[in-house]
Structure 1
Amino acid sequence: MFDRQPVRSAITAMTFEEYLATKKIDAVRFAAEDPVIFDEWSRLFDQVSVESFTVQKKFLLNLTRRKYLMR
């Protein structure tokens, strides 16, 4: 499914995939269709707080949600 094992962020007790689910983004489709961005975001998520990640990616998250809406 994913090239890497889901890692719980050192800053939060949430994995990147769990975070995407809270944003109603389908992590499986996102990873399959845009693996470069998925991996980039995943690495960043593991390094910063959830709030910081959300602020940094706010507008991109909205576009990504529209593209990979969880059903």
Structure 2
Amino acid sequence: MSFDEYLTAKKIDSQRFKQTDPTLYTEWAVLFEVVHPDSFTVQKKFLLNALRRQYLLNSEGRMT
């Protein structure tokens, strides 16, 4: 699973996230590559919720 696929599964618009905050996106993408997705989720759980609110995808996979 790629980082973009992971973000989509979490209902986060990865393209908008990457464009708006490339530093954080890159930092998280690097971490995601070295840890298991479940471990990444545990480490970033509350931050992912905030990110989802900021970059929410609608049901068709596009931002709302």
**Same-fold status (TM-score > 0.5):** yes
Q: 1:70 aligns with which of 52, 57, 64?
A: 57
Percent of residue pairs identical? 57
**Aligned-partner Cα distance in 1 for 2:57–2:17:** 10
Q: 1:31 aligns with which of 10, 14, 18?
A: 18
Greater fraction helix: 2
**Aligned-partner Cα distance in 1 for 2:34–2:10:** 19
1:42-66, CA deviations, whole angstroms, 9 ceiling, x for partnerless residues? Answer: 0000000011000000000000000
TM-score (norm 1): 0.80
**Aligned-partner Cα distance in 1 for 2:46–2:23:** 18
5+ long unaligned stretches in structure 2:
59-64
TM-score (norm 2): 0.89
What's the CA shift for 1:70?
1.0
Moved over 3 A (4+): none
> What residue in structure 1 maps to residue 62 of structure 2?
none
5+ long unaligned stretches in structure 1:
1-13
